[in-house]
Chains A and B, each alone.
Chain A
Amino acid sequence: MLNATGIHTYYGNAQVLHGIDFHVAEGETVALMGRNGMGKSTLLKSMLGIVAPRRGKVRVNGVDVTGHETSSIIRRGLSYVPEGRGMFHNLSVREHLLMAARPGIDGRRDWTFDRVLETFPRLAERLDNLGTHLSGGEQQMLSIGRALMTNPRLLILDEATEGLAPLIRRDIWHTIRAIKATGIASIIVDKNVNVLLDFADRGVILVKGEVVCDGPAKAIKQDKSTLSTHIGI
């Protein structure tokens, strides 16, 4: 579904990614892990064209999209929930959802306004509030709900549970699992590695902009030494 090879990314003169190979198969859930500042978010942004990699190739469903506009890469069936949630301060909850609505690349509209509200009932109570007036957890739900409105084949979540109260975090995990069960592929970056590895199919660990580990999630979860060396748990 998504396939990146040899990604080198710089911020100015500082090299952040040193030739990363990364892929996600149709329907697969990949846990992207690593300590702070190792380049997880940069890898996501490089693949989506938000940051331009200096070298490397990105393919979506076999089509070379290297150097394409972010919006046109996204429209190939990807959806992105960024760190910091990306709320619009001047749009209501309802508008956040409606503005993003779009059928999937296969023409299907599995995710509608009503279905998103069923999935996140708390949003239904706050439809006329501005996005930035919601609590952190509600903003996160809105950001995920908005991403689902585009009927993606691949959902990319960067730190979706960061800074949330445990109960809300549990809700979000529950939803993410439910989304996985519908067959949508996902890339999930999250600090809660144990929860993540419980249901992810595959795990990838980044250290200083390089992939040091790429394998089945179950195997990584057992491998305490890898986890403690590279992630610190």
Chain B
Amino acid sequence: MDIWMALIQMLNGIQYGLLLFLVASGLTLIFGIMGIINLAHGAFYMLGAYLAWWLAGITGSLGAAVLLSLPLAAGIGYAIEVLLVRALYKRDHLDQVLLTYGLILIFNEAQRVFWGNDVHGVAAPAMLDWSIKLTDTLSYPVYRLALSGVCGVLAVAMYLVISKTRFGMWVRAGASNRDMVAALGIDVKLLFGLVFAVGAALAGLAGAISTPISSVAPGMGDNVLILCFVVVVIGGVGSVKGAFLGAMLIGLADTFGKVFVPDFASFTVYGVMAAVLLWKPKGLFS
């Protein structure tokens, strides 16, 4: 593999990792802070992708579609938290898994009813629909770079919100001792609802902006969900920093695995997970 090929794979791995991070950060926060195992998290990724494809068809602009799908995903996430998930905080994990698995079925059926089972593709916006020429035969699509850029900016923004703002302090304090947060007069229910909504919006955003590079298809949320659980476990449940490192690790392992050991490609991420857990059984940051 020459240096340009390696560079391309590297960029692909980073981009995939950043995209996974958008989904996994919400999953880890919801699990770590609210104690909820949200199997339906991947469904928001799918929802975002379908909304983006559908709205892009209506508005004629992927950018507008992405911007519109954000509040929709957040709103649906908030409604699900208030109407269903809220009742589960004091229940055990089995009840949560049952409910959120049921939600996956509902989401998948809704997708079939509203949008059918065809596979769709979305073109990148014209402004970003070109490639940077690396050599005579190799080039790199600008859309992927832009996507990495957006994810990177969001990761930094998330870091700043969580580590510097009072909202971030409440979220972290909620992960440590939620009863004490309530005893300080902070509305934990609202806080959790917002975290759930933001998590749903981020997953939806990831699905929406990934439409030009991967197809919009039934079941697309399930693969992402499984990888994101791997990321969360590697990073340490509840740690956004851990989710970031875990996502980069899995993004790169998956991408390079497909290049170097194509026959075992589906195994590489689990190999990485096993190695990390042997070294740190509770994940990188716990």
B-contacting residues of A (Cβ < 8 Å)? 48, 50, 69-72, 74-75, 78-80, 82, 86-91, 95, 98-102, 146-147, 150
Decide: A99 near B187, CB < 8 A? Known: A71-B182, A88-B180, A91-B176: no
Q: Which residue of B lies closest to A149 (CB)?
A: B184
Q: Let me know if A88 and B185 touch, CB within 8 A.
A: no
A88 CA to B188 CA, complexed, in Å: 15
- Residues of A near B182 (CB, < 8 A) are 50, 69-71, 74
Interface string of B104-133 (1 = CB under 8 A from A): 000000000000000000000000000000
Alpha-carbon distance A70/B186, docked complex (angstroms): 9
A74–B189 touching, CB < 8 Å: no
Are B177 and A86 interface neighbours, CB within 8 A? yes
A-B pair number, CB within 8 angstroms: 68
Q: Does B183 contact A (CB under 8 A)?
A: yes
Near A by CB (< 8 A), chain B positions 185-202 give 185-189
State the Cβ distance, B273 to closest chain A Cβ, in Å. Answer: 24
Q: Which of B167-175, B216-224, B244-252 contacts A (4 or more CB under 8 A)?
A: B167-175
- Complex CA–CA separation, A163 to B200 (angstroms): 45
> Which B residue sits closest to A81, measured CB to CB?
B183
CB pair B185–A98 under 8 Å, yes or no, is: no
A residues in contact with B184, CB < 8 Å? 71, 74, 79-80, 99-100, 146-147, 150
Contact check: which of A78, A99, A150 meets B173 at CB < 8 Å?
A: A99
Check A89–B176 contact: CB distance below 8 A: yes
A150 to B183, CA, bound (A): 11
13 of the cross-chain contacts (CB-CB < 8 Å) are A71-B186, A71-B188, A72-B187, A74-B182, A75-B185, A80-B184, A88-B173, A88-B180, A90-B172, A91-B169, A91-B176, A98-B169, A99-B166
* B92 interfacial by beta-carbon distance below 8 Å: no
A99 to B173 Cα, complex, angstroms? 9
B residues neighboring A (CB under 8 Å): 166, 169-170, 172-173, 175-177, 179-180, 182-189
Q: A95-B169, A99-B166, A99-B169 are in contact. Are A80 and B183 (CB under 8 A)?
A: yes
Smallest distance from the beta carbon of A136 to chain B beta carbons, Å? 17
Which of A50, A87, A90, A101 sits near B183, CB closer than 8 Å? A50
Q: In whole angstroms, what is the CA distance A75 to B188 when docked?
A: 13
Known: A88-B177, A89-B176. A98 touches B183 (CB 8 A): no
Minimum C-beta distance from B156 to chain A (A): 20
The 4 lowest CB-CB distance pairs between A and B, nearest first, are A74-B185, A86-B180, A99-B169, A88-B176
Q: Are B169 and A74 in contact (CB under 8 A)?
A: no
Q: Given A69-B189, A71-B187, A102-B185: A88 and B172 within 8 A (CB)?
A: yes
Q: How far is the CB of B170 from chain A (nearest CB, A)?
A: 6
Q: Please, which residue of chain B has its CB at the minimum distance from the CB of A77?
A: B185
**Chain B residue contacts of A74, Cβ below 8 A:** 182-185
Report chain A residues within 8 Å CB of B183. Answer: 48, 50, 70-71, 74, 80, 82, 86
Q: A88-B172, A90-B172, A91-B169 are in contact. Are A69 and B187 (CB under 8 A)?
A: yes
Cβ–Cβ < 8 Å partners of B169 in chain A? 91, 95, 98-99
Closest residue to B175 on the A side, CB-wise? A90
Question: Which of A48, A69, A79 lies at the interface centre, i.e. has the most chain B CB atoms within 10 A of its CB?
Answer: A69
